Amino acid sequence: MSTPVQGGAPHRVAFIGIGNMGWPMAARLVGAGFQVVACDVAAERAARFAQEVGGEAAADAAAAVRGADAVITILPTSKHVGEAVAAMRDALAPGALVIEMSSGVPTATRGFAEALAGQGVAMIDAPVSGGVPRAVSGELAIMIGGAEAEVKRAEPLLRAMGTTLTHVGGVGAGQAMKALNNLMGAAGFLIGVEALLIGQRFGLDPAQMVDVLNNSTGMNNSTQKKFKQFVLSRRFDAGFGLELMAKDVSVALEVARDTATPAPFSALCREMWASAVKLLGPGMDHTAMAQFSERLAGEALGGGNRPG
């Protein structure tokens, strides 16, 4: 078991959160030769990861981080991150580096970083974009906030998981950038679905509309990677939760509020995603947001029956 050394390159890595994204990201680290200790709220999932992929499994966060050079957290919300930090704080050795990769609240992450700095533990934030397919292939886009020296120290780990690494500012800046990215994605999805519904009622074919949009100025990530694949196919299984997207849009609005930036369109977008969560219920994929617009219109895209 290694002892963390201030400024040294990480080797033993505690990975907290073996979920849809965490599993393939941790697997990339195992494949790159890092010594990974997996930990998840579902202990059996961490154990299965160690058995199927490699590394070790720990029963709790404190056990996972003992002797770790670096700790990666990728959890649903900053509340969960706060709980993990509290659980592992006494077990972290001075010189360890915590890499917060959740889509969290920037101000909360700054608070965690300040608290950890008092015991000689550095924290950076490095949320990701690209979804499960790019987590599997190691082609994530990673937005990084933190001190230059700590970002450089984390780079070997981050390069095992992503191909586009962008240092955007101090601690919390990565999460602000991620929230704003997802705000734009959420807004683009909504306006795209509405355009498809309008076109369908006019007599246009939604699938053909997507083809036209992808060769025109209306193209966006949803027209390219979501509408045919997950909405018109009625699969609604892109691998990112509706509640998580709604949370990220809310984080973007918090950034707007903290910076005193008027954002009326963003506020409407947040209200629509929050309303969809209430209407459609828990556990839905974010592409099921289309069903919210379909219910408002009273018909499903692609000529299906009236949505329930």
Per-residue pLDDT tens over the stretch 55-69: 999 999 999 999 999
- Answer yes or no: do 180 and 147 share one domain: no
pLDDT mean over 10-14: 90
Q: What is the pLDDT of residue 8?
A: 56
Q: Is residue 302 domain-resident?
A: no
- Tokens at 18, concatenated: 């073996």
Do 230 and 281 belong together in one domain? yes
| Cβ-based burial of 165 (10 A; exposed 0-12, middle 13-18, buried ≥19) | middle
Enumerate the active-site residues: 178
Task: Identify whether residues 253 and 136 lie together within a single domain.
Answer: no
Overall number of domains in the chain: 2
Mean pLDDT taken over the chain: 94
Residues 17 and 143 in one domain: yes
Residues 134 and 277 in one domain: no
| 234 within a domain of the structure (yes/no) | yes
What value does the mean pLDDT take over residues 180-199? 98
166 and 236 in a single domain? The answer is no
Considering only CA atoms, which of 94, 93, 92, 103 is closest in space to residue 145?
Answer: 103
Residue 240 · residue 131 · CB < 8 Å: yes
Q: Determine, yes or no, domain membership for 45.
A: yes
Between the CA of residue 205 and those of 112, 200, 212, 218, what are the distances in Å? 50, 6, 11, 16
| Count of CB atoms situated within 10 Å of the CB of 235 | 12
State the pLDDT at residue 5.
39
Beta-bridge partner residues of 13: 36, 70
Is residue 304 in a domain?
A: no
Amino acid 1: pLDDT: 36
> Among the three residues 152, 171, 190, which one is the final residue of a domain in this structure?
171
**Is residue 147 located within the same domain as residue 197?**
no
Are 271 and 214 within one domain? yes
Is there a single domain that holds both residue 104 and residue 181? Answer: no
Residues 139 and 182 in one domain: no
- pLDDT confidence of 3, banded at 50, 70, 90? very low
Within 13 Å of residue 1, how many CA atoms lie on the same side as its CB? 10
- Quick check: 307 pLDDT over 70? no
Q: Is the pLDDT of residue 2 over 50?
A: no
- Predicted pLDDT at 119: 92
Same domain, 164 and 193: no
Instruction: List the domain range (segments joined by +) for residue 270.
Output: 176-297
- What CATH number has the domain bearing residue 112? 3.40.50.720
Burial, 217: exposed, middle or buried (Cβ in 10 Å; 0-12, 13-18, 19+)? exposed
The answer to whether residues 42 and 163 belong to one domain is: yes
- CATH classification of the domain holding 182: 1.10.1040.10
Reported as a single tens digit per residue, the pLDDT across 202-222 is 999 999 999 999 999 999 999
Query: Is residue 254 in a domain?
Result: yes
